Structure 1
Amino acid sequence: MFDTLIIGSGLGGLLCGSILAKQGHKVCVIEKNKQLGGNLQTFSRNKQLFDTGVHYIGGLDKGQNLHQIFKYVGIMDRLRIEKMDTDFDHILIGNDPKTYVQSQGYGSFIKNLVADFPEEETAITRYCDLVKEVCSRFPLYHLTLDDTISKDAVLGLSAKETISALTSNKKLQAVLAGNNLLYSGVAEKTPFHVHALIVNSYIESSWKCIDGGSQIAKLLAAEIRKHQGTIIRNCAVEKIVETGGIISHVETEDGQVICARHFISNISPAETLNRTSSHLLKAAYRNRISSQPNTVASFSLYGVLEPGTIACPNHNYYFHKEGALWHLNDYTEQNWPLGYGLYFSPDRKNKKFAAAVSILTPMRSGDVKQWENTYNRVGKEKERGRSYERFKQSRINQLLDLVKERFPELVAHIRHSYAATPLTNRDYIGSEDGSMYGIQKDFNDPLKTVISPRTKLPNLFLTGQNLNLHGILGTSLSAVLTCTLLLNDNTLVDKIRNA
């Protein structure tokens, strides 16, 4: 009998396991894949390593929120990370040859934008002040549980409209939100607080993982095992079983029955409820969870470069066609893609040069609907057919045609290219439609998209990117909240803050 059984070894599940094991819980983590980590997973092609979801991380300077969480669970000092350039994100806009930058440190952030928009110094300063003010309304973001602070006043702010209200300069608006691929920004729904919480973490500090983000999963797994925890891989949970008003056990695909006192699901809330049969989970609750629209899925192109040909920048690029920033998901088959993010990996033998590049752009799950009944992951390999391969190649060519407009030399030196579609993310991560960031937050009805870690079953908890905020930081904060509630211990946050 385990104290806590955790379904899914994404960052949220592994962090919960590490925190609870440190508190003396006998922990078991069950993962359907061979590789642990969810979006922390990496893979290799032509001897080059690619990240699937962790291209860079914010908030890792000493004393900052993510630094303290990783320090508390014992992995911070062992992470192999490198601080990015001061100008960590370079913003490119269609029909404008200029490169704009977002910078680490609010002083540099303001200084560099004012250099490009000298008449907008007041607006840029007001923007930064507002970002910091909104972040101050979220106590957990600052590793406290101060219930006297109200965030109600900021939850209903639109990201697009709030930025537009600060400045009428369309170009500056496009630069301030230029990396909105980080949260799948859409004009009609994206709240300003999602924008602020994410952007602020990168302005505070921006880092890259040396040799991939999977090291985070490996280190957390090692911590769980160090505290006598159990990790079971290649094992899918099919049923979460209630007995007498509480969850008693799970049943796995291979027929195992595993019991525990507490259960945490790191798979999507909708999938969790689909696998749980209980009269305590009322239809209204199930409908609210299952009816939440998700953020858009993605198409990822992974390119292996000819050695020694492309200088390796220590920053990222974000491009969007003029006027398309808040509508990257509203493409047609003819004009796709409307923008992309560009992330480089250095050559291990000569870090001055890039060995590989990852290019990310939105793609709706409906684009691959004709292959939705196929399934393909390590250990469950199955080809989707020639039509699917032709589809991927066609989209690779379309994406590279757009990238070539700003990076012709880069495209010319891609030796091999590979692609992942919404189906790839669905099969490996478990989200039904391959969503990048889980549930789409909505400023029009912000409380509707807030999902508590508690469920109607007293010993079943949720964690992961769907709860509060996605990304490495958001998922980590959700794990802290899940463990705080499961342990019924508000001092946990204080311990992490003071680690």
Structure 2
Amino acid sequence: MEREFDIVIIGSGLGGLQCGYILADEGYSVCILEKNRQYGGNLQTFVRDKKIFDTGVHYIGGLDEGQNLNSFFKYFNIMDDLKLQKLDEDAFDLISFGEDENVYPYAQGYDNFIEKLSAYFPEEREAIVHFCDTLRDIVSKFPMYSLKPDKVDDQYFETLQIGLIDYLESITSNKKLQSVLAGNNLLYAGRKESAPLYVHALVLNSYIESSYKCTGGGAQIERLLSKNLKAKGVVMRNYAEVTGFNIEDKLVKSVMINGGEEKVYGKKFISNIPPAVTVNMIDKSFLRKSYIKRINSLPNTPSIFILYGVLKEKTFKNINSNIYHFESDSPWDSINYPEDDFGNGFALFFNKDAKNPEYCDSFSLMTYMNFSEVEQWKDTFHTIPHHRTERDEEYVKFKEEKAAVLFKKLYDRLPEMEGCIQSYTTSTPLSFRDYIGAVEGSLYGIEKDYRNPLRTFIPPQTKVDNLLLTGQNLTLHGILGVTISAFITCSSIVDIEKILEKVNAQTTSN
């Protein structure tokens, strides 16, 4: 008889790994199934010219002693082994705009944040203080963010219905300050007309508390978690793509692997792949049409194009900050870029040279790209080492042309980098679709909208009793958001208050 696991998890992104750890730690037998060679989803890295590049984890917040992600990571028994580099405490992010010669810093620590930004807006200090107070007030309304059981009140629901731009316009009439305070909205693919204030607050608060890079790439998070999972007896399988569910009596009995060549049996199942992909693998007779329609109609955030550059040795001084640059005076234009102005806003992340720490050895430049730009190759599929379909020379030319556009924009922003490039590679929406499984390469999954917040909130429970969801499409994306979603998902199986006591013990014991 086939082995039946207590829990079968589909997808080994961070949320899947964390659900596996939480449940294995409580004594459940767990199997994690991954379609690719590498585990970790957006934690994956790759190497070019002996340099490590992140696909998704460019920096992490909330890792100082006593902060939320620090406590979560201690619970997962990975915090002490992470190799970290703290970003510039006076400028973890630098925000810049076209013709404006100023470069506006986001500093770590709220008092420091206020001081550094007020130096550029002395008459707007009160607005900046109000902004910081609001961020802290909002995060206090999200219990799991503060390591408390997820019980919400009316104030929580009111918070979901505030637009970021409406709020910024209410605290200051200074257009430049409004733009600066929304300056890293690429972290959640914010649209001016719909971006919720709470998303901005949850994301930015974490980085203001503390900002770090993973030295040597974010894949170390996956490696440490996988090591701990295996120590707890978790079965981890790569090259095991789930292609269907076998349902009897309204319960999933097993999942089909690689087109049905094998079945994996379980009592409960957790899907860490996009909700729409999950729902579309279930026989429609087991789901209401309205549920299928709702899940499939939810808009996803756009995708991205990333330019990964390797620098000649000791040619470019390291910048211990991230740069968000916009060619216009607004941080909201780049998500709706016109076809003839690709890359008019971008994020830039630097990697320090381990041998020559004064210098930078590589960088990643990230900008929006609509899936429509790669639509002609949508029927191709390409992963390493499994090359299912090779893409044509036209695709190679397309990437080279986009890279050339971005290099010009990069040199406009950092002229001193010209002549420093040794080599480069790129990724497109197809890369994120194929490797990560994101719908049309979506950067952060389902798009949040303050005008109808509950429509884009996906609960972990599905219409199939023993099938749960987890991952970035639930509460929030990002390392912290996905971590919180994992705990919320597991609260349907275990006593979450007991688990959170263990997490909080990590804070109080230090």
Classify the TM-score, shorter chain. over 0.9
**1:236 aligned onto 2:250:** no
Which residue identity lines up with residue 200 of structure 1 in the other structure? N
- C-alpha distance in structure 1 between counterparts of 2:315 and 2:417, whole Å: 8
Q: For 2:161, give the aligned amino acid.
A: G
Q: Tell me the residue number matched to 1:404.
A: 411
**Of the candidates 326, 332, 335, which is equivalent to residue 326 of structure 1?**
332
- Equivalent residue, structure 2, for 1:110: 114
Q: What whole-Å deviation, never above 9, does each CA across 1:146-172 have from its counterpart, x for those lacking one?
A: 625431111111112211221111111
1:162 aligns with 2:170: no
| 2:46 matched residue in structure 1 | 43
Mapped partners of 2:330, 2:431: distance in 1:
26
Contact 1:324/1:338 (<8 A) preserved:
no
Match of residue 6, structure 2, among 3, 6, 15: 3
2: CA distance between counterparts of 1:70 and 1:147?
A: 23
Map residues 184-199 of structure 1 onto 2, 5 A cutoff: 184-199=189-204
- Partners in 2 of 1:149 and 1:133 — Cα distance? 14
Report whether the alignment pairs 1:428 with 2:396. no
Aligned to 1:69: 72
How far 1:242 moved relative to its partner? 1.0
Distance 1:458 1:143 in 2: 27
What residue number does 2:140 align with? 136
Residue among 440, 449, 457 paired with 2:447: 440
The question of whether the paired residues in 1 share the 8 Å contact of 2:92 and 2:321 is answered with: yes
Provide the residue aligned with 1:470 in structure 2: 477
Give yes or no for the alignment of 1:348 onto 2:351: no
CA deviations 1:337-381 (Å, max 9, x no partner) are 120001011112111111101000001111110111111011321
User: Greater CA deviation, 372-381 or 299-308?
Assistant: 372-381
- Name the SS for the 1:349 alignment partner: coil
> Which is worse superposed, 326-335 or 109-118?
326-335
Where structure 1 has 5 or more consecutive residues not aligned to the other structure, the ranges are: none
Q: Aligned partner of 2:316: which letter?
A: I
Counterpart of 1:211? Answer: 216
Q: Mind listing any 5+ residue stretches in structure 2 that lack a counterpart?
A: none
Distance in structure 2 (CA, Å) of the matches to 1:281 and 1:494? 37
CA apart distance, 1:133? 1.0
The question of 1:97 aligning with 2:97 is answered: no
Q: How many correspondences in the alignment?
A: 499
TM-score of the superposition, structure 1-length normalised? 0.98
Aligned to 1:365: 371
In the TM superposition, what are the counterparts of 1:269-418 in structure 2 within 5 Å? 269-277=275-283, 279-381=285-387, 382-418=389-425
AA of the residue aligned to 1:62? E
Query: Deviations along 1:86-111, whole A, 9 cap, x unmatched?
Result: 11001111111111100110000000
| 1:324, distance to aligned residue in structure 2 (A) | 3.7
User: Is 1:173 aligned to 2:173, yes or no?
Assistant: no
Structure 2 SS opposite 1:97: coil
What is the TM-score with the length of structure 2 in the denominator? 0.96
CA distance in 2, matches of 1:42, 1:147: 36
Q: Secondary structure at the match of 2:85?
A: strand
For the structure 1 residues 331 and 146, does the alpha-carbon distance in structure 2 shift closer, same or farther, using more than 3 Å as the test? closer
Q: Deviations over 1:210-229 (max 9, x none)?
A: 10000001111111100011
User: In percent, how many aligned pairs have the same letter?
Assistant: 44
Cα displacement (A) at 1:488: 4.6
Displacement over 3 Å in runs of 4+: none
CA RMSD after TM alignment: 1.2
- Corresponding letter in the other structure for 2:173: S
Residue 12, structure 1, aligned to residue 18, structure 2: no
Inter-partner Cα distance in structure 1 for 2:365 and 2:390: 23
Quote the offset at 1:392 in angstroms: 0.4
Q: Which of residues 202, 205, 211 is equivalent to 1:200? A: 205
User: How big is the shift at 1:263?
Assistant: 0.5
CA distance, structure 2, for counterparts of residue 81 and residue 27 of structure 1: 30
Worse-superposed segment, 331-340 or 361-370:
331-340
Residue 278 of structure 1: CA displacement? 5.4
1:266 aligns with 2:272: yes
CA contact (8 A) 2:179 2:330 kept: no
How far off is 1:414 after superposition? Answer: 1.1
Matched, 1:494 2:501: yes
Question: What displacement does 1:495 show?
Answer: 2.2
| Cα separation, 1, equivalents of 2:69 and 2:378 | 37
Q: How many Å apart are 1:305 and its aligned residue?
A: 0.4
Q: Deviations over 1:128-154 (max 9, x none)?
A: 111111111111111112625431111
One-letter code aligned to 1:3: D
CA distance in 1, matches of 2:227, 2:208: 31
Report the Cα offset of residue 498 of structure 1.
2.3
Structure 2 counterpart of 1:32:
35
Q: Contact conserved, 1:461 with 1:486, CA < 8 A, in 2?
A: no
Change (3 A) 1:3 1:411: farther
Encode CA deviations 1:309-352: one digit per residue, 9 max, x unaligned.
01112111110122341121211121111200010111121111
Q: Quick check: 1:484–1:493 contact (8 Å CA) kept in 2?
A: no
